[in-house]
Amino acid sequence: MIPAAMPSEFQAVTVDYLAIAPMLIVVGGALIGVIVEAFAPRERRHTVQVWLTTTTLLVALAVLAVWSRDHMAVTLGGSIAVDGVALFLQGTLLALSVLGVLVMAERFGGVGSDAFTPMGASTPGSTQESVATRAGYATSEVFPLTLFAVVGMMIFVSANDLITMFVGLEVLSLPLYIMTGLARRRRLLSQEAALKYFLLGAFSSAFFLFGAALLYGYSGSTDLKELSRAITTSTGDLDALLLPGVVLVLVGLLFKVGAVPFHSWTPDAYQGAPTPVTGFMAACTKLAAFGAILRLTYVGVGANRWDWQLGVVAVAILTMVVGAVLSVTQTDVKRLLAYSSVAHAGFILVGVLAFSQAAIGGVMFYLLAYGAMTIAAFAIVTMVRQDGSEASHLSQWAGLGRRHPVVAGSFAFLLLAFAGIPLTSGFTAKFAAFAPAVESGTTGVVMVVVGVLASAVTAFVYVRLIVLMYFTEPVEGVVALTPSIPSTVAITVGLAVTLIAGVAPTWVLQLAGNASQFLL
């Protein structure tokens, strides 16, 4: 069947370059990064890459804040929508990526980034690896890879078309698979994590594609707006395609946010990945995927939400409960934070399911707040060491407050924010996401009740860790390394955002609220 509106000949699409300029800048930066990787002398590569990457991201952010803001448009033949939501999320993404890159750049006095292996291709424990270490190799490829991932995420949050969304999904995922496998220490664990993440990611992509195909079959278009129109004007012939299509596409996206039962990769990948990458993944991937979920559900398939909503409600409740309950028995800080991120995904889903404009603002605020605190938290995890490697087992954190009051104090503050204690951004964010849910009806209230109970369980976990840090005898040999200026900046900004968004959230809430309008 050929739609009647099909043009008889090829027409060039119009492109609003100012609207998509931030994305173009990041792509450009990534490409330059690849060239730098090939030509810059080895000893200077790290420095050049860090400068290039942060500059690229900051320039993109500046362009976005100054010009793109006034050029909201649905462009590139309707496949990219640069609207309030996309701009807010892209801006947040760029800002968080800067923080993430600053943490990745941490060298702790070594040659290359401390978190990354000198040679990703070498077999762990092999002669080749030790030769590479001695020669002072460094995997500075992570920086262009990060930029590519950021491009993917930026496309993801503004994709107005299922194909574009899929492109974004893959562009953001592939670099992350690689980066997950590049840890300097416990390399086998890291490679295993990368492989699992890749396999399961591919599996979920298949779901997404299958769903997209069904939706195309249903509506005759991959465009979200067309899809929405098809649903409202449906004659009922192809309705059997709609529900499976929606569910399968959603599964692909829910996989990325780590919602139960599609979360299994989260703890393994979070634990195995180099810690700065974990922070970046937790903050930015989650943000991008929720951006896509918002757009898909609000712009695309919102019209028949009564058919599929209950399934997502079940997923949200499961996510909160499983995330909270499983965090209780974790003994590894990174896995603990992984389950915490699962629970937070559930909390954010509660906001998404409220289906109101206030909910969009609340969810976006939550993503910003959660991203800032997560990057700072993982940055602190990289600093705590025993015998040179990360002391990620909980028992090693005992008594940290006595030896390193500032480090432990900052981490405790972030934990309180994760728990959602008032005067931290965690509380304001939960409030912003839950309040619209309560107003949306009984289902919303039920989810909020579950959410509050789950928060109580996770609060127990966090407070237990705080107690461990402050009220037990210190473990011999555990030290907190002194971070360099870039990661200190990243941690400080993360803490500041967490504090300010908790104490005086008005401005950010308003910014998110004003931006919570999709362009149709």
Partner 1 sequence: MHSLITEGDAMTASAASGMSSLAWLLIALPLLGAATLLLGGRRTDRVGPGLATGLSWASFAVGFVILLQLLGLAAEERAQHLALWSWVPAGSFDLDIGLLVDPLSVSFVLLITFVGSLIHVYSLGYMEHDPDKRRFFAYLNLFVAAMLLLVLADSYLLLFVGWEGVGLASYLLIGFWNWNPAYATAANKAFFVNRVGDLGLALGIMTMFVTFGGVDYETVNEGVANANQSTLTAIGLLLLVGAAGKSAQFPLQSWLGDAMAGPTPVSALIHAATMVTAGVYLIVRSHVVYDAAPDAALAVALVGAITLIFGAIVGCAKDDIKKALAASTMSQIGYMMLAAGLGPVGYAFAIFHLLTHGFFKAGMFLGAGSVMHGMNDQVNMRRFGGLSGFMKVTWATFALGWLAILGVPPFSGFWSKDKVIEAAFVGEGWQPWVLGGAALVGAGITAFYMSRLFFMTFHGEKRWTDDVHPHESPKVMTIPMIVLAGGSAFLGLALGPTGAITSWLEPVVGEHGEEHPVLAVPVILTLTLLVVALGLFLAWRMYWRDDVPEVAPRGSVLTRAARVDLYQDAVNEGLFMRPGVHATRSLVFADAKGVDGAAGGLAALVGGLSSRLRHLQTGYARSYALTMLTGVVAILGVLWVIQ
User: By the 8 A CB rule, do 103 and 44 touch?
Assistant: no
User: By the 8 A CB rule, do 339 and 330 touch?
Assistant: yes
Closest CB to partner 1 among residues 36, 320: 320
- Based on the number of CB atoms within 10 Å of its own CB, is 302 exposed (0-12), middle (13-18) or buried (19 or more)? middle
Q: Which of 439, 441, 477, 482 lies at the binding interface for partner 1 (CB under 8 A)?
A: 439
Closest CB to partner 1 among residues 205, 386: 205
Binding of partner 1 at residue 433 (CB under 8 A)? no
Stretch that binds partner 1, among 135-143, 193-201, 280-288, 347-355 (CB under 8 A): 193-201
Strand order in the sheet with 389-390: 389-390, 384-386, 478-480
Closest CB to partner 1 among residues 460, 470: 460
**Signed CA dihedral, 84, 89, 93, 95: sign only:** positive
- Give Cβ neighbours of residue 302 (< 8 Å, ≥ 6 apart): 228, 355
Query: For residues 373 and 371, what is the distance between their CA atoms, to the nearest angstrom?
Result: 6
The vertex-289 CA angle with 344 and 91, nearest 5°, equals 95
Long-range own/partner contacts, residues 14-17 (CB < 8 A, 24 or more apart) = 14/75, 14/77, 15/75, 15/76, 16/71, 16/73, 16/75, 16/82
Closest CB to partner 1 among residues 261, 477: 261
Closest CB to partner 1 among residues 151, 269: 269
- Based on the number of CB atoms within 10 Å of its own CB, is 264 exposed (0-12), middle (13-18) or buried (19 or more)? middle
Q: Please, which of residues 446-465 interact with partner 1 by CB under 8 A? A: 457, 460
Q: Please, which of residues 459-498 interact with partner 1 by CB under 8 A? A: 460
Stretch that binds partner 1, among 72-80, 170-178, 224-232, 429-437 (CB under 8 A): 429-437
Binding of partner 1 at residue 514 (CB under 8 A)? no
* E strand or H helix that includes residue 386: strand 384-386
Binding of partner 1 at residue 308 (CB under 8 A)? yes
Q: Which of 19, 247, 284, 508 lies at the binding interface for partner 1 (CB under 8 A)?
A: 247
Q: Which of 125, 217, 261, 477 lies at the binding interface for partner 1 (CB under 8 A)?
A: 261
The vertex-325 CA angle with 319 and 331, nearest 5°, equals 120
Q: Which of 126, 128, 130, 329 lies at the binding interface for partner 1 (CB under 8 A)?
A: 329
Query: For residues 119 and 139, what is the distance between their CA atoms, to the nearest angstrom?
Result: 6
Stretch that binds partner 1, among 8-16, 105-113, 291-299, 302-310 (CB under 8 A): 302-310
Stretch that binds partner 1, among 48-56, 67-75, 125-133, 263-271 (CB under 8 A): 263-271
Q: Which of 505, 511, 512, 518 lies at the binding interface for partner 1 (CB under 8 A)?
A: 505
The amino acid at residue 285 is: T
Phi-psi region of 441 (alpha: psi -120 to 50; beta: other; left: phi over 0): left
Closest CB to partner 1 among residues 305, 403: 305
Closest CB to partner 1 among residues 110, 244: 244
Binding of partner 1 at residue 328 (CB under 8 A)? yes
Binding of partner 1 at residue 278 (CB under 8 A)? no
Binding of partner 1 at residue 207 (CB under 8 A)? yes
Closest CB to partner 1 among residues 100, 505: 505
Binding of partner 1 at residue 326 (CB under 8 A)? yes
Query: For residues 457 and 342, what is the distance between their CA atoms, to the nearest angstrom?
Result: 13
Tokens found for residue 299: 């712009």
Q: Which of 205, 234, 264, 517 lies at the binding interface for partner 1 (CB under 8 A)?
A: 264
Binding of partner 1 at residue 274 (CB under 8 A)? no
User: By the 8 A CB rule, do 421 and 427 touch?
Assistant: yes
Query: For residues 88 and 288, what is the distance between their CA atoms, to the nearest angstrom?
Result: 11
Query: For residues 97 and 344, what is the distance between their CA atoms, to the nearest angstrom?
Result: 20
Binding of partner 1 at residue 366 (CB under 8 A)? no
Stretch that binds partner 1, among 50-58, 148-156, 202-210, 468-476 (CB under 8 A): 202-210
Binding of partner 1 at residue 114 (CB under 8 A)? no
Binding of partner 1 at residue 195 (CB under 8 A)? yes
Stretch that binds partner 1, among 113-121, 323-331, 376-384, 479-487 (CB under 8 A): 323-331
Total residues at interface with partner 1 (CB under 8 A): 45
Binding of partner 1 at residue 322 (CB under 8 A)? yes
List, as one string, the DSSP characters of 432-476. HHHHHHHHH-HHHHHHHHHHHHHHHHHHHHHHHHHHHHHHSPPPT
Helices (H), strands (E): how many in the chain? 21, 5
Give the shortest CB-386-to-partner 1 separation in angstroms: 24
- Contact residues toward partner 1 (CB under 8 A) are 195-196, 199-200, 203-204, 207, 243-244, 247-248, 251, 255, 260-262, 264-265, 267-268, 307-308, 310-311, 314-315, 322, 325-329, 358, 428, 431-432, 435, 439, 457, 460, 503-506, 509
